Chains A and B, each alone.
Chain A
Amino acid sequence: MSDEPLEIVIPMDLRFKWSAGPHLGHFLRELREGNIVANRCPECGRLQLPPTPVCGRCHVAMGTDWVPLSTKGTVISYSFVVDPMYDAGIGDMRPVPYTIAAIVLDGGPDVAFFHRLEEKDPEKVRVGMRVEAVFRPPGKRQGLMEDIIHFRTID
């Protein structure tokens, strides 16, 4: 046997058709209209974002107590990502750098919403800064998280 290592490259391209279901589905349909909504647990009153059929803490069905949140919020954490990664959504490497952030939306203090920031200058981003969602034009939205382009700085 030869000692030369033999490595064989076999790509995998799997296409899934995910069902959003009634709860995440409602959230995504609202997102398509330019709104961000959460649902509220009938027992503990905590908001669920992404909305879920069940509250893990109380183990009760969530029902349909929908709460509209502001599209404005406060950054509680962020990262400038410079290491590129393949993006299955675009079928290519995701352009870097980009800024990913955890944002607490006004009216939704229980959970952090994750999305990208428009601001890519490390000197200009800080914890506590105020941001607002920038949506794609109405005709271009598909009921995806990508219906929000990014969050822009508002102060």
Chain B
Amino acid sequence: MKKKVGIVGVARTSYGKRPEAHLQDLSFEAVQKVLEQTGLRFTEDGSGIDATVSCSQDHWDGWTISSKNAIDGAGGHLRTEEKVAADGAYALYYAVLCILSGHHDCILIIAHTKESQVDGRLIENTGIEPMYGRMLGLDFTTCAALQARRYMDERGITPTQCARVVVKNRKNAMGNPAAPVSEILTEDDVLTAPILADPIRVPEAKPVADGACAVIVATEEKALQWTDRPVWVKGMGCCYDRHYPGYRDLIDPLALRKAATMAYGMAGVSDPRKEVDLVELSEYFAYQELLWCEGLGLCPEGEGGKLVDSGATGPGGDIPVNPSGGLLAGVPVNVAGLDRAVEAALQLRAEAEERQVEGARTALVHGTGGACGQMHCVLVLGR
């Protein structure tokens, strides 16, 4: 990228179920934390945050233009506030563009969702085209199950390999204070757990989560002024495939490969397996971590299973994937992709505590939306 955009602050709530909290409590909590951490305020003279990008979805909030849930706490009162109704990685992407365009120098991004307030499968059922797929009961879980079966059938991915993702990410989550999951599982626990939509078992699906996370991005000049540990956005790309999964070859994450190619090109990454130190990706279901690793070019096509078998994606491996525990640790939808950036930034600032990847200099961030990976957003972050 010709101009540099830096992350100057990251913060979040914990992601357990929060029956006591209004949605606005969640977003305000994350915003207060990031303001306290950076010492920045909402200003109009260029000395602080110029504008806000919020990230949520009306159908999850049950409230049209649902950014109104966050607007006061996010500094949006009589100021510029724009909403990205997609995964949080897209909100970061959009905020970076706002800075690259010269429109703003500093932006607060706040993503928030309270999944526990509604039956999420019904919400995701309304994410499917109404007259053709929705009436059949398709939702993101059943579409994922069809993708998982096809991936396993065509590529020889085994239930044990998928279970290994759960075991790894659950174990990683024990070092992540924001993660609500509290139980380490064995492969056997996963392989004998109740079925959700086969071949997907309950612990292979992202748990229900509530919460918010906040990121502040700024121009190079301001980032250097405000923090001694800036994290730079080195490259980014996003790509949409067709909505109806019947049009896509579900074992080929084409949109992800294209998004990654754009991000790598901008960042000057030619061999991600060698040049990237860690990956925070969005696995709503265990098999997706394997398939997304293939799409990100971390292993050859069809070898996502062998990759997890080799231990390369585990702690101490050559390409740790989701050292935070990923989405299987419990991260709210929409918040998901922005939380990947929060985790990557903590790693690059050497603040990831127990889950720290030693010497991390370059990290991959991945967000996805739509049924079984319709759209993908990839960012390369570096210190």
Spell out A's residues near B (CB within 8 Å).
3, 5, 7, 12, 16, 18, 20, 24, 28, 48-50, 56, 76-83, 85-89, 94, 98, 100-102, 111-116, 122, 127, 144-146
Contact = CB atoms under 8 A, between A and B. Distances in A.
B20 interface: yes
Contacts of A24: 131-132
Given A77-B149, A102-B246, 9 more contacts: A5-B19, A48-B247, A77-B146, A77-B147, A100-B142, A102-B245, A102-B250, A145-B132, A145-B136
A82 B246 contact: no
Interface string B126-160: 00011111111111011001111110010000000
B137 A82 contact: no
Nearest to B240: A56
A85 B137 contact: yes
Contacts of B175: none
B131 A28 contact: yes
A155 to B, nearest CB: 19
A102 B244 CA distance: 12
A15 B63 CA distance: 16
Contacts of A145: 131-132, 135-136
A102 B129 CA distance: 16
Given A78-B146, A78-B149, A80-B195, A85 B135 contact: no
B137 A87 contact: yes
A114 B198 contact: no
12 contacts: A5-B20, A12-B62, A18-B130, A24-B131, A79-B149, A81-B137, A81-B142, A81-B197, A100-B136, A100-B142, A112-B246, A127-B153
B270 to A, nearest CB: 29
Contact of B246 (A28, A114, A116, A146): A114
Nearest to B134: A88
B22 to A, nearest CB: 10
B79 interface: no
A85 B198 contact: no
B196 A83 contact: yes
Contacts of A86: 119, 122
B281 to A, nearest CB: 23
Contact of B196 (A18, A50, A82): A82
B383 to A, nearest CB: 39
A77 B250 contact: yes
Most chain A beta-carbon neighbours within 10 Å: one of B138, B142, B148: B142
B138 A114 contact: yes
